Amino acid sequence: METLRIRAATPQTGRAMLAALSGFRAELLESSEGCEVVVDLGRGDEEIIGVLNALERYVTERADGPARVEVYGKSYVLHPSERDASSWESNLTTPVPIEERRGAWKG
């Protein structure tokens, strides 16, 4: 099974991300190296899109910078959406745009 990993700056941020991803198989992992939220992904793109939509909504609503994500062994940065977070409606059917950061993941 594939996983999507999201770096959390603090345990509090990790718990907030975990709450935002409560509709998915997600867990918070804490170690001496930091925190990350790990989401188990199913086989279909639909679940990945759902996770990325929920994460984008969280990043946009918290308005405190991007999220660092690792999926399929590649690292990405997911930035807040430019749309108004107070009137969020997502109808994406393809993955949200994310910027690949080669070698950026240290998890």
Asked, for residue 23, whether it belongs to a domain, the answer is: yes
Asked, for residue 77, whether it belongs to a domain, the answer is: yes
* Residue of higher predicted confidence among 32 and 85: 32
Asked, for residue 65, whether it belongs to a domain, the answer is: yes
Q: What is the pTM of this model?
A: 0.70
Asked, for residue 104, whether it belongs to a domain, the answer is: no
**Structural domain count, the chain:** 1
CATH number for the domain including 43? Answer: 3.30.70
Asked, for residue 51, whether it belongs to a domain, the answer is: yes
Q: List Cα–Cα distances, 44 to 20, 33, 37, 40, 65, in angstroms.
A: 21, 31, 20, 12, 29
State pLDDT tens for residues 33-82.
889 999 998 767 888 888 888 999 999 888 788 888 888 788 888 888 87
Taken in order 80, 29, 76, 48, the sign of the CA dihedral is: negative
Asked, for residue 107, whether it belongs to a domain, the answer is: no
